[in-house]
Amino acid sequence: MSFPFVQPYFGLGNSLQTAQGAVGGAAAGGWVELGRTSGSRASGATLDVSSLPDKRYYMVLNETQGSSTHTCDYRLNADSGTNYAYRANQNGTSETTNTSASFMFGDYGGIPLDKFSVSYFANLDTKEKLGISHQVRQQTAGASTAPTRAEYVNKHAQTSNPISTISLLNRGPNTSASGEIVVLGWDPDDTHTTNFWEELASVELGSAGDNLSSGTISAKKYLWVQVYTKNSSTTNAKFTFNNDTGSNYAYRYSSNGTGDGTATNSSAFQVNVDNASAFYNMFIINNSANEKLVIGNTVDQVTAGSATLPSRLEWVSKWANTSSQVTEIDVDNTSGGSYDTGSIIKVWGSD
């Protein structure tokens, strides 16, 4: 069975084929949009995506905006009983657990301003429903303040029915100005060709170089980016959007589980651990009028061979641009080495 979580290019099985179906229409399967709901939410209210078909996995994208404190938690199948348990971590240090809760945790402390989350749910009707979520929160606008990040795992102790409704709950105390929840589904038996993620760029280096660029891509609200930098010499990867090298980036990161580091008023965001071959996976909320928020993970080879551990990095970043969308992504090496032939960037997007 194909594994859907890193499906577009670097997944297993028929993953490349299913991603290309969004472009050429010749392949079947892939993440399909099942529904979306948008609007404001008063305290205690939900944004619901209901009548969901029974899929083996769901991917949920949610973003909220607002100038007053609000939260972004989940409920499944409109169940408000004490049938949930969760574990949550904020900025790599502060951890919260709860049992017999009335919701799935999705927001570590309600704050105002913009938030973006990517979540996955495993959906087998005879098993408890398990969820994994990653969130980035804008914090104070501008590149002088780093965003914050959070990770959550949840379970819904319900073993008699599949998921049919996914709701974004605002526990308050105020009304969110606006928000959207988009639910995607994937199943190994899918035969559709209406994939949500459209391939926007696929660039592979034919010779060694210092720049790996998507080139110009279509402006889309949601972006999924995967990058593999193949290195035989020291490199120092820095990401920029739309050729902007001004002091307009801020980011937060944790290397191998250590305490978070931050960078503000930066000319790029640098999210590799060591100077070796690395793989990056990231999601971007790309609204023109809002700062661009990014959720990402990096694995770094370090030294070849099983005698050396790889390194990992969890990170979030923001681009303090509120007048245009991301239409180019560049990964520049600034250390004097170069990216080897075979380094690749792939970008998918959807509105």
| Domains 31-186 and 198-350 fall in the same CATH topology | yes
Contacts of 317 (CB under 8 A, 6+ apart): 136, 147, 239, 249, 250, 251, 252, 269, 271, 293, 294, 296
| Residue among 136, 80, 132, 76 at smallest CA distance from 108 | 136
Query: pTM value?
Result: 0.90
Q: What is the pLDDT of residue 236?
A: 80
Structure-token match 């110009």, residue found: 216
What's the confidence (pLDDT) of residue 179? 85
Which sequence spans correspond to the domains of the chain? 31-186, 198-350
pLDDT the model gives residue 20 = 38
Alpha-carbon distance 191 to 18, whole Å? 10
Query: What CATH number was assigned to the domain covering residues 31-186?
Result: 2.60.120
- Measure the CA–CA gap between 178 and 115, rounded to whole angstroms: 11
Mind listing the pLDDT tens digit of every residue in the chain (351 residues)? 333 444 443 332 333 333 433 333 335 789 999 999 998 878 778 889 999 999 999 999 999 887 677 788 899 999 999 999 999 999 988 788 999 999 988 876 666 688 999 999 999 999 999 999 999 999 989 999 999 999 999 999 999 999 999 998 888 777 777 889 999 999 998 988 899 999 999 999 999 888 999 999 999 999 999 999 988 666 788 999 999 999 999 999 999 888 899 999 999 998 876 667 889 999 999 999 999 999 999 998 888 888 888 889 999 999 999 999 999 999 998 777 788 999 999 999 999
CATH of domain 198-350: 2.60.120
Asked if 316 contacts 252 with a C-beta cutoff of 8 angstroms, the reply is yes
- The answer to whether residues 2 and 18 touch, using CB atoms and an 8 Å cutoff, is yes
The whole-number pLDDT of residue 94 equals 75
pLDDT at 273: 66
- How many C-beta neighbours within 10 Å does residue 12 have? 11
